[in-house]
Amino acid sequence: MKKHFYLFQIENKAQSDVTNLFWGSLEIIKIILVLEPIMFFKALNKIKTHQKYIENLFNSIGRIDMLYSISSLRKGIQNYCTPHFSRPEEGIKATAIYHPLIENCVENNIDTSGKSILLTGSNMSGKTTFIRTVGVNVITAMALNTSFAEAFQLPKMRLMSAIRISDDLMNEKSYYFEEVSTIKEMTSCSENNYFHLFLLDEIFKGTNTIERIAAGKAVLSYLTSNNNLVFVSTHDIELADLLKDEYDLYHFSELINEEKVDFDYKLKEGKLKTRNAIRILDINQYPRAVVKEAKMLSEKLDFKKPHQ
């Protein structure tokens, strides 16, 4: 290859070191003898002849670079394991799983035993982060053979998420429309023969309470009907009640002191039984009239009763 491109190297050198007279003469010779095209096509022929060896070399260098990167990643994290791949019916099992991008991340354990998970909890308690933690570990397990946990077991699967959805003003699409489109794709994929993991954060939060709960229940039941696995978070306790036979219920909770809210970010079994949103308003010094009226209305409204 170097021999075939030597003529081009002379040209580059000539532009700076050789006199204009010599350069002009050399250019005339190249034109008359058609040297550049001849050398170029000889080089292409050489590449074609040795294509198999070049591809093997390229793949070998790429594999070494990949392994070096994985080794560097493992050395720079607090804890990792090699994942164990199992059958789909065994689900996901994780011990001390954590998110690699969160400093001093709280570790959690989860065992789905093939059953989907529904998470409840207040804002900032850790629901979305935990769902993302599961998603990140599934991806790195299958792509890098590395998981951020003490132990991680999972089946080989395809992953789809509806976590960070936003409206599209340029195409005149609202948040709810974008969410509907994303989840519609999930329902379509759930019908094929592949095993899927679906991650959803605050399903259908872009619409009203009654229809959100009704549509959410229907969709979540449908996604698991073909033996797929779902991790979903919600503020709707009513949704947890409707899905308690189909999903395992977990929650994150907070501790409210007189002047602040503390989170332990620990995953707990069962649904969330407390509601502290109005108390958080009070801690953040909302007007007393606002807090008082909110408390009064919350005592009158009972969304656990069937809607007429």
Average pLDDT over the chain reads 84
pLDDT at 307 over 50: no
Say how far apart CA 55 and CA 163 lie, in whole Å. 39
Which of 131 and 47 is assigned the larger pLDDT?
131
Say how far apart CA 89 and CA 82 lie, in whole Å. 20
Mean pLDDT over 283-292 rounds to 84
- Identify whether the C-beta of residue 167 lies closer than 8 Å to the C-beta of residue 175: yes
pLDDT value at residue 118: 94
Looking at domain 80-274, its CATH superfamily turns out to be P-loop containing nucleotide triphosphate hydrolases (3.40.50.300)
The model's confidence at residue 308, banded by pLDDT at 50, 70 and 90, is very low
Percent of the chain topping pLDDT 90: 42
Verdict on whether the full-model pTM lies above 0.85: no
pLDDT at 70 over 80: yes
Residue 143 CB: number of other CB atoms within 10 A? 10
Dihedrals φ, ψ of 19, to 5°? -65, 160
Calculate the CA 212 to chain-centre distance.
Answer: 24
Say how far apart CA 147 and CA 186 lie, in whole Å. 25
Q: pLDDT by residue (tens digit) across 229-252?
A: 999 998 888 888 899 889 999 999
Q: Crossing angle for the helix pair 6-17 and 35-49, nearest 10 degrees?
A: 140
Q: pLDDT by residue (tens digit) across 109-122?
A: 999 987 899 999 88
Say how far apart CA 203 and CA 221 lie, in whole Å. 13
Q: pLDDT by residue (tens digit) across 172-203?
A: 667 778 888 889 999 999 888 889 999 999 88
The model's confidence at residue 282, banded by pLDDT at 50, 70 and 90, is confident
Percent of the chain topping pLDDT 70: 87
